[in-house]
Chain A
Amino acid sequence: MGGRDLKKILLMGNPNVGKSVVFSRLTGVNVIQSNYPGTTVGYTKGQLKIGQNEMDIIDVPGTYSLSPSCKAEEVARDMFFNEKPDLIINVLDATNLERNLYLTLQILEHNIPTVIVLNMWDAAKRKGIHVNLEKLNKITGINVIPAVAVTGEGIKDLVNIVNETTIKKDKQLSKIPKMDDSEKWAFIGEILSGVQKIEHRHPSLLEKLEDASVRPLSGIIIAIIVIFITMQVVIGFGELLINYILDPLYYQYYGPFITSVVENFIPTGFIHDILIGSGYEYETSFGLLTTGIYVIFAVVLPYILSFYLVLGFLEDFGYLPRLAVLLDSIMHKLGLHGYATIPIVLGFGCNVPAMLSTRILEGKREKFIAATLIAISVPCMAQTAVIIGLLGKYGIQYIFMVYGTLLLLFIIMGSILNFLLKGESPEIFFEIPPYRIPHMGTLLKKTWMRVRGFLIEALPFVFLGILAINILYLVGIMSALSNLLAPIMSQMLGLPNQAIDALIMGFLRKDLATAMLAPLNLSPTQLVVACTVLASSFPCIATFIVLIKELGIKDMLKTVVLMLFIAIITGTILNLILN
């Protein structure tokens, strides 16, 4: 065989069977994995190299069949038919073979070499499900590998078989004939009666909790407890990190150090000012290396970290889809359906992945409503950090004012959009994953990936923003701009002119606005107005770019106009009420 021909392998299977975990194990490429259908909405590519044998492995979004019913499933179908794969790794949930095998039969019809991975083999055993692997292998005519992808069990066997199958010239194809749907189900029934034995087990405590979380009364109580604990942990742990680790580090070590270094080399002048501003003692010094670093690492990062730890736990545990079931009816009144809960919850962390995950929603209308509501009324962690940072010292009631206003906005806007936009949101229909005890390693890895993602995304924009502010002030554009807008804004919003700068700058990155608002000595109620306006406009320029990609220019412009309008109107009303 001639040296370098890159083989192409697709990882396919039903949603939430652990394809992404298998993918990470095979390629070493980390992707976000969770315990709910629809975690992977795009695709990720990675490489596996064994000796001379090089393979491209693609993690395809989960699908129940090759005839799609949402965007993510369309991606799966298109990849299957257009990518001309050399091998399909079909990942199955061993605890739910019957449904999983339907897709398998559809795949096998197309005469592409396939390997079956029976993932969650341990869970199947615990549930009392016994699968006769040899028999399954005999009937399907292809290799069947039991695996527990989260712990890595079975991956070695998979790698060996993938290697062998892709090198071999005579392709081992399944001899299963083409069948129509009812024949397929009958055939699956036949396979299972010969291959699978299920012992009856009493429901475990986790299983009882599963049911309790979707029942109306107990479900709502559990939801309130979960949300309360989430807020407590996110804010508590974030504050702990700031007060006991990051603030001391910054003020006692980093600040003095960086100041003396810079002053040694550049004692005064423009560059000096841009690098350290008016000194590390002030969080509003506007130096790249002082305020820039402080805002990212000591204001926003702690909350990002604590939020993603809690979110990751809830995701891997399998709670979010249950919240989606509970909220479905309410969401329908806002033009959405329950599954929109997932992008919304993600939006509290960062709006960028939230926008991407709106792809699990079926209709264009629903996507537009979800994206608009998230952009306007779901504050990302950077915005939350700003709100807590500015208002926290005045008391929790002010923070509630901001969040209450945002919640009200969410409900009012959703109802209006639902009324104005023609069409109806499709009905909810999805699989609810079982509760699983999160795997610590996976959880920490996922949190780290997200935190790193935040740093990569935030650092350049914060630096750029600080640079821009310095230059704009220096050249005088900033004062011209705020003079232009100030009369309207300050009269309507009741804020001093300099606060307008912060609102304008907030378009680039919200976290910067904290530093700009803090030195203005605004009253708590003025801060409530400013925070609400900041929170109801876009979190950052990155969200803006993703919105263009996800909605198209036209719909994005609609969202922007709506956002500006709503931010100003809301600010004005709040100002009238509070001041």
Chain B
Amino acid sequence: MITLVELKNGKKAIIQKIEGGPGLKNRLEVMNIREGKTIRKTCAAPLRGPVVLEIEGCKMAIGQGMAKKVWVEEI
């Protein structure tokens, strides 16, 4: 398992685990970022900026700190 930050640009992966408190988990979940979902990482913005990912055709920007708490398995 690797985190969203480590996942290479353009690769697809399945979310395995989200670390962190219920607050963070809930915030991610209502945006459809939750365990079992397939995602594609588009890229990371410059200077260790946010990770841009795509779930079900919907693009989202998520800060590095949060992205580090999302563990995925590349497919």
Chain A residues with CB under 8 Å of chain B are: 64-65, 67, 69, 95-96, 98-99, 102-103, 127, 181, 185, 210-211, 214-216, 219-220, 321, 324-326, 328-330, 337-338, 427-432, 434
Contact = CB atoms under 8 A, between A and B. Distances in A.
Contacts of A430: 60-61
Contacts of A328: 45, 49-50, 61, 63
Contacts of A214: 42-43, 45, 52, 61
Contacts of B59: 210, 431-432, 434
Contacts of A338: 49-50, 61
Contacts of A324: 61
Interface of B: 9, 26-32, 34, 42-50, 52, 55-66
Given A69-B27, A216-B43, A216-B46, A429 B52 contact: no
9 contacts: A67-B30, A99-B55, A102-B32, A219-B45, A325-B45, A325-B61, A427-B65, A428-B61, A429-B61
B45 A329 contact: yes
B60 A431 contact: yes
Contact of A432 (B32, B52, B64): B52
A328 B52 CA distance: 12
Contacts of A429: 27-28, 31, 50, 60-63, 66
Nearest to B32: A99
A69 B34 CA distance: 17
A127 B46 contact: no
Contact of A428 (B9, B27, B50, B56): B50
Grouping DSSP codes into helix (H, G, I), strand (E, B) and loop, the A interface class, with mixed when no group exceeds half, is helix
A98 B61 contact: no
A336 to B, nearest CB: 13
A127 B45 contact: no
Smallest CB-CB A-B distances: 7 pairs: A427-B63, A329-B47, A99-B32, A216-B46, A65-B30, A64-B30, A432-B59
B36 to A, nearest CB: 9
Given A325-B49, A338-B50, A99 B62 contact: no
Given A96-B56, A96-B58, A99-B56, A427 B64 contact: yes
A486 B57 CA distance: 62
A437 to B, nearest CB: 18
A219 B46 contact: yes
A96 B57 CA distance: 7
Contacts of A211: 42-43
A346 to B, nearest CB: 19
Identify the interface centre among B46, B47, B58, B61: most chain A CB within 10 Å of its CB.
B61
A315 B31 CA distance: 22
Contacts of B56: 96, 98-99
Nearest to B56: A98
A211 B59 CA distance: 9
Contacts of A220: 46
A330 B45 CA distance: 11
A428 B66 CA distance: 9
